[in-house]
Every structure is written in C-alpha cells, then in structure tokens.
Amino acid sequence: MRYPLCAAASIFASLALSVTGTLVGAFFGLQIGQAGAEHERRNRQMAEEAARMALAHLPLDTAKEVLSASQKRP
C-alpha cells in the first residue's frame, strides 16, 4: 500500500462522520417528533374548547345527550 496513513485517516473520518451523522439525525428526529406532538396537543386542546363552546349554546337536555353519546364511543 502506497499511503497507509491515508487509508487509516479515511477509515477514521468515515467512522467519525457516520457516528456524528447518526447522532445529529437522531437529535433532529426527536426535535421534529416533539414539535409534532406539541402541535397535536394544541390542536386537540383547541378542538375541545370549541366543542365546549358549542355545547354551551345547546339546550341542557341536548348537551347531556351529546356528552353521554361521546363518552360511550371507544
């Protein structure tokens, strides 16, 4: 082999870059996943608030029927 240090350096560089790439990818994957979960939580909270506001405009008996029917769903 003509340049043994170059071969060792390229092996070391590829190993370091693959480990770094894996860690960076995992970090950004977790960040994106957490951001998506937070977005979903906010959307669910807004939908629940809108449902409560809509129920407030219904007659009491109708609102009770809607609530009992929604609690029976799986």
Q: Could you read off the pLDDT of 4-24 as tens digits, one per residue?
A: 788 888 899 999 999 999 999
Q: What is the C-alpha to C-alpha distance for residues 60 and 58, in angstroms, rounded to an integer?
A: 6
- Confidence category of residue 1, pLDDT binned at 50, 70, 90: low
Q: Where are the alpha helices (DSSP H) in 1-74?
A: 4-56, 60-72
Pairwise pLDDT comparison (41 vs 7), residue with the higher score = 41
Pairwise pLDDT comparison (5 vs 53), residue with the higher score = 53
Please give the structure tokens belonging to residue 69. Answer: 């029917």
Query: Are the beta carbons of 63 and 55 closer than 8 angstroms?
Result: yes
